[in-house]
Structure 1
Amino acid sequence: MKKIIVALVLLIMLAPPLGGNVYNIKNFEENKSRAAIDAYDFLIIAPDNWLDSLQPFVDFKETHGVKTKLVGLSECLKMNGRDDAEKVKYYIKYAYDTWGIKYVLLVGGRKPGFKERWYMPVRYVHNSFGGGFWGEPCFLSDLYFADLYDGNGKFSSWDTNENGIFGEWCNGSVDKNIDLKPDVYVGRWPARSEEEVKIVVEKTIDYEEHAHGSTWARRIVVAAGDTYPEYPTYEGEVTTSEALQYLEGYNVTKLYTSDGTLKGWKDIVREVNKGCGILYLDGHGNPMSWTTHMPNSTEWIPDFKVTRMMYLKNNGMYPICVVGGCHNSQFNVSFSNTFKIYKGMDEWYKYLYKGENSPE
């Protein structure tokens, strides 16, 4: 009897606490030891019906020594969490703790239509910037999915006051102890269809196979002007020139409004079509266009619009593009916003003026 009691005590001491499965994966094979689970470098999460289109990318990564795990979104949503975004973040944490992943790719953007719905969950954070016409009460942040732990080593919910408002810093209410330090590298392909996924896979593989060692990839094009003409410095030209100090070994093409080499979007298209590895634009932008000012003038140069992308003929020479502009990478936009006049003239005008009716 004593042996039985001792055995029971040991079992109780060694057993995990109730609810101690922090990952809460349903039907997970708990008898697998951590040592028996393969390590991975790269985690890709995508809608289940897009997985086949991503498999060539997984195979390509594997052949280059990058151990890659492809997971359907439905598997992530088996986690416990307050909403789908938190469930995805818990799965990334699980993958980080279990497989040692370093890189994460989220595949999926906004679904077409008037109502905002997503192929891959997003997180809006509420770091308020003023009010009125330019007010932004909340905005998208994929840093949320990368910042897994707070400074104390605990899961970083980004909602420390537990009021359901994430990344909050407004109206006197603050989510404290968010260190904003990414624990993994997170990127997103905000694709809006499986066909877009196939295109991005094809172009990414093409880039990774051919860019290294090519002449065009060692060329950088910068374009800038007088970002804020009310101040004495040509800010965009200063920042791009400073950036070039860190990029040794590149052939540099500068397009500046101050010397007349940048008069409009055609100058940018001409240089990109020659092939470049890096394109750096520093000025003003929204989801529909990018532009900047002539020297000491409020005059805008002819802008580089989405509709002018058709003039790019750089097939097989895809640059890494860095943009200094307010909202060029905003991906919660939709052409359907063009028709939201029913929200009132003021709100409708905001959609149009801010370029948030960019085509899908």
Structure 2
Amino acid sequence: MKSLLKVAIFSFPLILWGASIRQTIEVNPGEITFQTARGYDVITVPGCDYISTPGHPHLPVKSVYVLLPADAELADFRITGMKTEKIDGRFHIYPAQHQIPLLKGLTRDFTSPDEAIYKSENAYPAVPLEFVKTGNLGGYRVAAFRFYPLYYIPKKGELYLCRELDFEVDFKAGHGAKAVRRSETAERIYRSLISHLVINPEDIERFAPKMRDIGQLEYLIITDEAYRDAFEPLIAWKTRKGFMGAIRTVSWIDSHYSGYDLAEKIRNYLKIAHADSGVTWVLIGGDTDIVPARKAYVYAEGYTDYAPSDLYYSDLDGTWDADGDHVYGEVADSLDLFPDVYVGRAPVNSLSEAQTFVSKVLNYEKNPPLDYETDMLFMAEELWTGCSGHVSKEIIDTNYVPDYFDITKLYEVNGNLNHANAISELNEGKAYINHSGHANYNVLSIAQSTLTSGDFDGLVN
């Protein structure tokens, strides 16, 4: 993936309340691509998503993150300069379509352009930069913005590129940030994450949260008492590598911490363990019947559902239930959605599965295959007539995967997606696997065949 957006940062050497950060975003016009669909123009900008409001112009949008002092709040921002250029030609931009909840078995007719917008001479979008929210990522304060590199004059069919955008972010003293406790290794990991997220990584040193003494516990496994012994070798290995680790059982957490239900008790424990002991990495050792996932509110196209989410255990700000109705993740609950601890799940359902998982992890860490870190596997089937999942895989490849990654692509449209090829590639030990197709909790559809839980249990990677 090539970088489209370049950012120049000008910031003051000391943190003075009422101070500003000046920034410039530059866009390379040579990396923009143009396609057509249904007689409309589709514009692709590497690293950008799209405006998704049905009927509105389906133009690129980029999430931009600015690091603030740990105890700051965003006071204001302003655009101070902009260089634009008109793109040659007359354009009729593709209208964004409705989302379709696939499990509902729905289809929708094509959504026509919103006439109020497409007959207007006003620029769309109206502004090139919008403030979204501020949040906390492991003690770091981050402000999120939306940047629109293109704007459209629908009635005239004119399209303009914002080649350069200058803006300032003002910040003020917030409610105060607590000093964090973590090891030097953990802090390096957080700083690496922040440096790849924000557009002003040179401010990390002076905007970092204050540190207390070194954390007493970094790596935590939460599991059932019956699986404790199976996970002990993993804790011992992490300790040998220099990470302070421990196992906590769900029954111990249930009896020592308060909460509306077990999931909330676990999260309340993690908030304390992160703040007081420096917990950074959490492995959930068990499927959702052993360690529950939080079912978060989902709304799409008039349909409401509840999706299991372990981000509930990673984003430790707030309660995920600000209105107190025990429906978690609603808009009214004002979620932060920035991770504070790293969370993974080993979805084991038996002692033998737990032992197998730990054995594979230890073998992978002690005797890793060479160069596997940059090996990826894409699998995509035809979702329904005329809609192939490989389209989304190609978007991911173009916009998000670095050029030095090696991607094996098994696509139904290419005729190479089948059971034998999938098992063979999985056994090669890919670092990343991305599947687009139908599935359930115990089966993965791959064109005319399937991959079952038994297939995955039998892998020798």
Task: Please indicate the TM-score interval, normalised by the length of the shorter structure.
Answer: 0.5 to 0.7
Is it true that 1:164 corresponds to 2:326 in the alignment? yes
Q: CA deviation at 1:205?
A: 0.8
CA deviations on 1:265-285 (whole Å, 9 max, x unpaired) are 222123334443333323332
Partner of residue 221 from structure 2, selected from 40, 44, 64: 44
CA deviations on 1:75-112 (whole Å, 9 max, x unpaired) are 322112222111111110110011111111122224xx
Residue 282 of structure 2 corresponds to which residue in structure 1? 104
Partner of residue 80 from structure 1, selected from 258, 272, 280: 258
Secondary structure in structure 2 of the residue aligned to 1:280: strand
Q: Rate the CA distance shift 1:308–1:89 in 2: closer, same or farther, 3 A.
A: closer
CA contact 1:103–1:185 (8 Å) conserved in 2: yes
Residue 119 of structure 1 corresponds to which residue in structure 2? 290
Secondary structure in structure 1 of the residue aligned to 2:298: coil
List runs of 5+ in structure 1 lacking aligned partners: 1-34, 111-117, 150-155, 169-173, 293-300, 318-360
Partner of residue 379 from structure 2, selected from 204, 214, 223: 223
Alpha-carbon distance between aligned partners in 2 of 1:311 and 1:229, rounded to the nearest angstrom: 32
Q: Rate the CA distance shift 1:46–1:231 in 2: closer, same or farther, 3 A.
A: closer
Residue 268 of structure 2 corresponds to which residue in structure 1? 90
Alpha-carbon distance between aligned partners in 1 of 2:326 and 2:250, rounded to the nearest angstrom: 23
Alpha-carbon distance between aligned partners in 2 of 1:166 and 1:311, rounded to the nearest angstrom: 33
Letter in 1 for 2:433: L
Q: Rate the CA distance shift 1:291–1:74 in 2: closer, same or farther, 3 A.
A: closer
Alpha-carbon distance between aligned partners in 2 of 1:107 and 1:302, rounded to the nearest angstrom: 33
Secondary structure in structure 1 of the residue aligned to 2:335: coil
Q: CA deviation at 1:48?
A: 2.5
Q: Rate the CA distance shift 1:242–1:84 in 2: closer, same or farther, 3 A.
A: same
Secondary structure in structure 2 of the residue aligned to 1:180: coil
Higher fraction of strand: 2
CA RMSD of the aligned region, Å? 3.1
Q: Rate the CA distance shift 1:215–1:147 in 2: closer, same or farther, 3 A.
A: closer
Secondary structure in structure 1 of the residue aligned to 2:222: strand
Alpha-carbon distance between aligned partners in 2 of 1:49 and 1:284, rounded to the nearest angstrom: 34
Q: CA deviation at 1:311?
A: 9.6
TM-score using structure 1 length = 0.60
Is it true that 1:53 corresponds to 2:230 in the alignment? yes
Q: Rate the CA distance shift 1:94–1:209 in 2: closer, same or farther, 3 A.
A: same
Identity %: 26
Residue 183 of structure 2 corresponds to which residue in structure 1? none
Q: CA deviation at 1:202?
A: 0.9
Residue 413 of structure 2 corresponds to which residue in structure 1? 258
Higher fraction of helix: 1
Secondary structure in structure 2 of the residue aligned to 1:105: strand
Letter in 1 for 2:350: S
Greater shift after overlay, 118-127 or 302-311? 302-311
TM-score using structure 2 length = 0.48
Is it true that 1:192 corresponds to 2:349 in the alignment? yes
Residue 152 of structure 1 corresponds to which residue in structure 2? none
Alpha-carbon distance between aligned partners in 2 of 1:44 and 1:311, rounded to the nearest angstrom: 22
Alpha-carbon distance between aligned partners in 2 of 1:265 and 1:271, rounded to the nearest angstrom: 10
Is it true that 1:182 corresponds to 2:339 in the alignment? yes
List runs of 5+ in structure 2 lacking aligned partners: 1-211
Q: Rate the CA distance shift 1:242–1:144 in 2: closer, same or farther, 3 A.
A: same
Partner of residue 455 from structure 2, selected from 304, 309, 313: 309
Residue 240 of structure 2 corresponds to which residue in structure 1? 63
Secondary structure in structure 2 of the residue aligned to 1:198: helix
CA contact 2:380–2:388 (8 Å) conserved in 1: no
Letter in 2 for 1:256: Y
Secondary structure in structure 2 of the residue aligned to 1:126: strand
Q: Rate the CA distance shift 1:228–1:200 in 2: closer, same or farther, 3 A.
A: same
CA contact 2:215–2:279 (8 Å) conserved in 1: no
Residue 248 of structure 1 corresponds to which residue in structure 2? 404
CA deviations on 1:147-184 (whole Å, 9 max, x unpaired) are 111xxxxxx1111111222223xxxxx53321222211
Q: CA deviation at 1:190?
A: 2.3
Alpha-carbon distance between aligned partners in 1 of 2:247 and 2:456, rounded to the nearest angstrom: 33
Q: CA deviation at 1:36?
A: 8.9
Residue 12 of structure 1 corresponds to which residue in structure 2? none
**Would you say how many aligned residue pairs link Structure 1 and Structure 2?**
250
Secondary structure in structure 2 of the residue aligned to 1:270: helix
